[in-house]
Amino acid sequence: MYHAAVTGWGMYVPEHVLTNDDLTQFMDTSDEWIRSRTGIRERRVAGATETTTTMAAAAGRAACLKAGIDPTELELIIVGTFTPDQYMPSTASLVQHELGASSAAAFDLNTACSGFVYAMAVGSQFVQTGAYSRVLIIGADFASRFLDYSDRGTAILFGDGAGAVVLQRSEKKEGVLSIELGSDGSAGRHLTLGGAESFVGLNGARKIDRPFLKMNGAEVFRFAVRIMGEAAATATTKAGLTFDDIDLLIPHQANSRIIEAAAKRLQMPRERVWVNVDRYANTSCASIPICLVEAEQTGRLTDGMNVVVIGFGGGLTWAAAVLRWGATGVKRGDAT
Ligand code: ACO
């Protein structure tokens, strides 16, 4: 068995900043309410020429550059997203084309906001078994186009963006050390984005509704706090570590109160928890890789550190992984 080291990382967020005060121009809310309930101050929203694909490709390109590999060397691209630009082709196939990654297989994976960690779990299997040695994992979402701005309890929470990592074959124990995935479809109704059910087949009446993201905030809140604690603990144990060995916790950035409650359960001090929900809000599949990029860029994440990443989202699904940062066992320019 090989190991799947993280050798490159990149992110993309749209330029347009939408502040809480901007929201008050067309919604009955306030900066104070949003900040006190969620920790969010502002979010980025995609512009007229931006799509899930363009954001995903920008993050993926940056990750390849950081890894020092040409996209033509990629063997697999997985995009975690629940807001693809169309049902088909997949976002991953469109990204493959944009990057010129002509040798790569490509597919999307939809587990809502846990999609990046799920995709990393899947991609790491190909690397660990030796099937592939260069895999691009992207998390990208354009949730703002599915927000109902008259639903103030949901619309305030989301922003757009993309993040990516390159996984490469390593001879050393580093990169993805453990994974913990799960799903509870019985609670799926608490977080939904309709779509296909709006278009009934030949034998039914045709009803075309614009699909919007709908959420039972209180239920998702309770679920998130519980599952983040449980999944992080299980992933850490699976990696043969304890919380004392964890240098950084990167939770899905949904709400600072959820993050604080989960960290408290895990007895993880604030300085070991990465939070940027104040600046980007919930960027869905992009939130965890954006955190990884920022933590590395600010020097908070360095070689040899153990990081727990935990995603949760629609499904309801959850996904946690322990990563050991660094790529000392990767042979540069290795052949498959
Ligand atoms: N501004 C002002 N008032 C508001 C707003 C707003 N934006 N939104 C709701 N309110 C009002 C409500 O109408 C309600 O008023 P009422 O008491 O007169 O009826 C009051 O504020 C309280 O509303 P609650 O919904 O009880 O507020 P709560 O404290 O639960 O916070 C929130 C709501 C922020 C949505 C919270 O429940 C939450 O964060 N839930 C989890 C969300 C989450 O993690 N989503 C992850 C999605 S991941 C994915 O896969 C997509």
Residue-wise pLDDT tens digits, 171-189: 999 999 999 999 999 999 9
The closest residue, in CA terms, to atom 26 on ligand 1 is 218
Distance 218 CA to ligand 1 centre (A): 7
Instruction: Give the DSSP H or E segment for 164.
Output: strand 161-170
Ligand 1 pocket list (CB less than 6 A): 29, 33-34, 37-38, 112-113, 152-153, 156-157, 191, 215, 217-218, 220-221, 224, 254-255, 258, 282, 284, 313-314
Any domain includes 316: yes
Distance 217 CA to ligand 1 centre (A): 6
136 backbone dihedrals φ, ψ, rounded to 5°: -105, 125
Distance 163 CA to ligand 1 centre (A): 26
66 and 13 inside one domain: yes
pLDDT in tens, the chain (336 residues): 899 999 999 999 999 999 999 999 999 999 999 999 999 999 999 999 999 999 999 999 999 999 999 999 999 999 999 999 999 999 999 999 999 999 999 999 999 999 999 999 999 999 999 999 999 999 999 999 999 999 999 999 999 999 999 999 999 999 999 999 999 999 999 999 987 666 666 666 666 678 899 999 999 999 999 999 999 999 999 999 999 999 999 999 999 999 999 999 889 999 999 999 999 999 999 999 999 999 999 999 999 999 999 999 999 999 999 999 999 999 876 544
194 and 259 inside one domain: yes
Give the list of residues 6+ apart from residue 105 with CB closer than 8 angstroms, or none: 75, 76, 77
What would the DSSP string read from start to end of 275-333?
A: --HHHH-B-GGGHHHHHHHHHHHTTSS-TT-EEEEEEEETTTEEEEEEEE---TTPPTT
**Which of 246, 251, 237 shows the shortest CA–CA distance to 292?**
251
Distance 154 CA to ligand 1 centre (A): 7
Q: Which of 171, 201, 225 lies at the terminal end of a domain, its last residue?
A: 171
The closest residue, in CA terms, to atom 23 on ligand 1 is 153
* Domain carrying residue 28: 3-171
Any domain includes 332: no
SS3 124: helix
Any domain includes 233: yes
For a substitution probing ligand 1, which of 221, 226, 312, 318 has the most ligand atoms within 8 Å of its CB?
Answer: 221
Any domain includes 245: yes
User: What is the number of the ligand 1 atom nearest to the C-alpha of 224?
Assistant: 44
24 and 166 inside one domain: yes
39 and 96 inside one domain: yes
**Which of 140, 128, 145, 151 shows the shortest CA–CA distance to 29?**
151
What does the pLDDT look like over 275-304, one tens digit per residue? 999 999 999 999 999 999 999 999 999 999
The closest residue, in CA terms, to atom 1 on ligand 1 is 29
**Which of 191, 130, 123 shows the shortest CA–CA distance to 157?**
191
53 and 119 inside one domain: yes
CA atoms within 13 A on the CB side of 260: 8
Distance 152 CA to ligand 1 centre (A): 8
Q: Which of 171, 195, 218 lies at the terminal end of a domain, its last residue?
A: 171
For residue 287, list its beta bridge partners. Answer: none
Q: In whole angstroms, what is the distance from residue 137 CA to residue 161 CA?
A: 14
User: What is the number of the ligand 1 atom nearest to the C-alpha of 257?
Assistant: 39
**Which of 256, 254, 227, 242 shows the shortest CA–CA distance to 320?**
227
User: What is the number of the ligand 1 atom nearest to the C-alpha of 193?
Assistant: 51
Any domain includes 99: yes
- CATH code of the domain covering residue 107: 3.40.47.10
User: What is the number of the ligand 1 atom nearest to the C-alpha of 218?
Assistant: 37
Which pLDDT does position 211 carry in this prediction? 86
Any domain includes 146: yes
135 and 72 inside one domain: yes
149 and 284 inside one domain: no
What does the pLDDT look like over 109-139, one tens digit per residue? 999 999 999 999 999 999 999 999 999 999 9
Any domain includes 336: no
Which pLDDT does position 336 carry in this prediction? 40
Q: 323: cis peptide before it, omega within 30°?
A: no
Alpha helix positions (H), the chain:
20-24, 31-38, 52-67, 91-99, 115-128, 152-155, 217-238, 256-265, 277-280, 287-297
Q: Which residues are catalytic?
A: 113, 252, 282
SS3 241: coil
Q: Which of 171, 205, 224 lies at the terminal end of a domain, its last residue?
A: 171
User: What is the number of the ligand 1 atom nearest to the C-alpha of 220?
Assistant: 41
**Which of 289, 285, 280 shows the shortest CA–CA distance to 91?**
285
163 and 283 inside one domain: no
**Number of folded domains that form the chain:** 2
For a substitution probing ligand 1, which of 36, 37, 283 has the most ligand atoms within 8 Å of its CB?
Answer: 37
Query: To the nearest 10°, the Cα dihedral for 25, 31, 35, 39?
Result: 50
User: Taking the chain, what is the end-to-end CA distance rounded to the nearest angstrom?
Assistant: 14
Distance 279 CA to ligand 1 centre (A): 19
334, 68 Cβ separation under 8 angstroms: no
148 and 209 inside one domain: no
55, 160 Cβ separation under 8 angstroms: yes
117 and 264 inside one domain: no
217 backbone dihedrals φ, ψ, rounded to 5°: -55, -45
The type of residue at 243 is F
